[in-house]
Amino acid sequence: MNSHNKKRPNLLFIMSDDHSANAISTYNDQLIETPNIDRIADDGMRLDHVYCTNSLCAPSRATILTGNYSHENGVRGLSEHFDGSQQTFPKLMQADGYQTAIIGKWHLGHGDKSDPTGFDYWTVFPDQGDYYDPEMIEMGESKVVEGYATDIITDKSEEWLDNRDEDKPFMLMVHHKAPHRPWHPPEKYKDLFNHHDIPIPDTFHDSYQQSNAAKNADMRIEDLKEEDVKQKVPDGLSSQEVKEWKFQRYMKDYLGCVKSIDDNVGRLLDYLDKNHLTEHTIIVYTSDQGFFLGDHGWYDKRFMYEESLQMPFVIRYPKEIQPATVCKEMIINNDFAPTFLDFAGIKVEEPMQGESFRHLLQGKKTGQWRDAIYYRYFEHLTIHNVPAHYGIRTNRYKLIYYYGEPLDVIGAVKKPTTPEWELFDMERDPYELTNEYNNPNYENVIIELKNKLQNVKDYYNDHN
Ligand code: CA
């Protein structure tokens, strides 16, 4: 290995799909044990305030690759395909001597312009992909692979690592499809939670006084379909009992998928140990956004509410990150790319909208870190009837504006809604149940937050 490469860490980036931090035991030990994901946090750092700037699969992926907001990278919703000719962190790493690969979920479109770029090797699902015997597109060629998706992705990752050039550092993106809807656990975990009652979250019975946006959202647990819960609802249950029965069925399948992810994270950790790569490899576990696990009586994401906004994020790199540390600063998914490039010692050609948080991982505080994050969801009313909105979150408050228009976003429903605002005081109301927007006590807070919101919009060049 030449001396330049010797100094540069490998990056193993493991990302699942729709995995709420609440279903990882280092964040919350009430739902499931995830010893392997926890191992990353125990040997490294757990980040408690990492946020997705547009809580949907494809937009989050485009932001992670480019370091830019949806309005800059062109993927504002699920139907807008990624233009692979733009600058991404895998491309910059590949050009600078890293071996790069992506295995698993891509979900940014296919064809000339949208196939993965910046990767020496890629094998990905078409769109969402299947849990069992999935079709995969390997460097442009389609084939069906037998087995369970989460296991297959790990098998292929190990295979690629086995065959890599050991003289060069690597950057591998392991992208699980699980635990995304339709929540099919592997055969061996189908009955794993059968004898447990999953605890109901505190906001399960939310009566949606916050806004019309919350009231009209179409993602309530009681509306899960038979194909989602995979069994016929028993006869003779009251509407409340049906809601609780569906919650149990939904969560047991979801957690079975998570258990399998955790096993497979363990396999890759063991692989690093066995091959003496642990010291030289940054390993990250995250998810493309959060998810409602019955919180507010919902499944799905999209909203700027905390359970959907927050991404789990644990990271280990023994050379720079102290074990069992926790970071409470506000980080956004735009920051991932600049951080990884910083670790690799690569200069970004065109500036990205995120910032490197390497110093925070090292436990240093500069006093200059951001005091607010900007969020924007564009897919007005699509599928789950959530109106488009933008907003900011500070350490204490969250201000959200549902502006009520589809604009020119592909896939958005062309039906305006009445604009409305929400203000949450996260210190008094961490579950975001009480909208304080019309409370006169918050008048000055609102003026200040609106100024801040305008400033961040200007800063990120989002003028619509
Ligand atoms: Ca997702």
Burial class (CB in 10 A: 0-12, 13-18, 19+), 329: middle
pLDDT value at position 3? 59
- From ligand 1's centre to the CA of 18, what distance in Å? 4
CA atoms of 443 and 338, how far apart (whole Å): 37
Residue 318, φ and ψ in degrees, nearest 5: -55, -30
Contacts with 61 (C-beta within 8 Å, 6 or more apart), sequence order? 75, 82, 106, 107, 108, 288
Q: Please report, in angstroms and rounded to a whole number, the separation of the first and last CA atoms in the chain.
A: 50
For residue 56, how far is its CA from the centre of ligand 1 (angstroms)? Answer: 5
Token pair 């959907």: residue: 308
Compute the distance from residue 105 Cα to the ligand 1 centre, in Å: 10
| Block residue for tokens 């409340």 | 240
- Tell me the H-state helices in 184-335: 212-216, 226-229, 239-274, 306-309
Token code pair at residue 81: 């395909």
Buried b (16+ CB within 10 A) or exposed e, 99-132: bbbbbbbbbbbbeeeebbbbbbbbbbbebbbbbe
CB atoms within 10 A of CB 86: 16
Distance 440 CA to ligand 1 centre (A): 38
Distance 227 CA to ligand 1 centre (A): 19
Q: Which CATH architecture has domain 373-459?
A: 2-Layer Sandwich (3.30)
- CA of residue 107 to ligand 1 center, whole Å: 10
451: CA distance to ligand 1 center in Å?
31
Token pair recorded at residue 89: 């962190």
Angle, CA 48 vertex, CA 46 and CA 52 arms, to 5°: 115
Contact 247, 221 (CB under 8 A): yes
What is the Cα–Cα distance from 350 to 88, expressed in whole angstroms? Answer: 10
Closest CA to 106 of 89, 85, 84, 86: 84
Q: Where does 3-186+247-371 sit in CATH, by number?
A: 3.40.720.10
25 half-sphere exposure, CB direction, 13 A CA radius:
15
CA of 146 to the centre of ligand 1 (A): 24
Query: What separation in Å is there between the alpha carbon of 179 and the centre of ligand 1?
Result: 9
User: What distance in angstroms lies between residue 427's CA and the mean position of ligand 1's atoms?
Assistant: 28
Query: Tens of pLDDT along 51-71?
Result: 999 999 999 999 999 999 999
- Residue ranges of the domains in the chain? 3-186+247-371, 373-459
pLDDT at position 112 is 72
Query: 43 alpha carbon to ligand 1 midpoint, in Å?
Result: 27
* H/E run at residue 156: helix 149-162
Gap from CA of 313 to ligand 1 centroid (Å): 14
Output the CA angle 124-57-388, nearest 5 degrees: 155
What is the rounded distance in angstroms from the CA atom of residue 84 to the CA atom of residue 119?
Answer: 11
Q: How far is the CA of 130 from the centre of ligand 1 (A)?
A: 14
CA 24 / ligand 1 centre spacing (Å): 16
Distance, CA 57 to ligand 1 centroid (Å)?
4
> Residue 165 Cα, ligand 1 centroid: separation in angstroms?
32
pLDDT of residue 7: 80
Taking the centre of ligand 1 as the mean of its atom positions, its distance from the CA of residue 319, in whole angstroms, is 31
Interval between CA 189 and ligand 1 midpoint (Å) = 22
Q: Report pLDDT for 464.
A: 85
CA of 2 to the centre of ligand 1 (A): 39
Could you tell me which of 173, 190, 307, 157 has the C-alpha nearest to residue 260? 190
What dihedral do alpha carbons 169, 53, 412, 104 form, nearest 10°? 30
Cα 20 to ligand 1 centroid, rounded to whole Å = 10
Instruction: Check: CB of residue 59 under 8 Å from CB of residue 38.
Output: no
pLDDT per position in the chain (464 positions), as tens?
Answer: 555 666 899 999 999 999 999 999 999 999 999 999 999 999 999 999 999 999 999 999 999 999 999 999 999 999 999 999 999 999 999 999 999 999 999 999 888 788 999 999 999 999 999 999 999 999 999 999 999 999 999 999 999 999 999 999 999 999 999 999 999 999 999 999 999 999 999 999 999 999 999 999 999 999 999 999 999 999 999 999 999 999 999 999 999 999 999 999 999 999 999 999 999 999 999 999 999 999 999 999 999 999 999 999 999 999 999 999 999 999 999 999 999 999 999 999 899 999 999 999 999 877 789 999 999 999 999 999 999 999 999 999 999 999 999 999 999 999 999 999 999 999 999 999 999 999 999 999 999 999 999 999 999 999 98
- The Å distance, Cα 301 to ligand 1 centre, comes to 8
Taking the centre of ligand 1 as the mean of its atom positions, its distance from the CA of residue 54, in whole angstroms, is: 10
Distance 76 CA to ligand 1 centre (A): 14
19 CA to middle of ligand 1, Å?
8
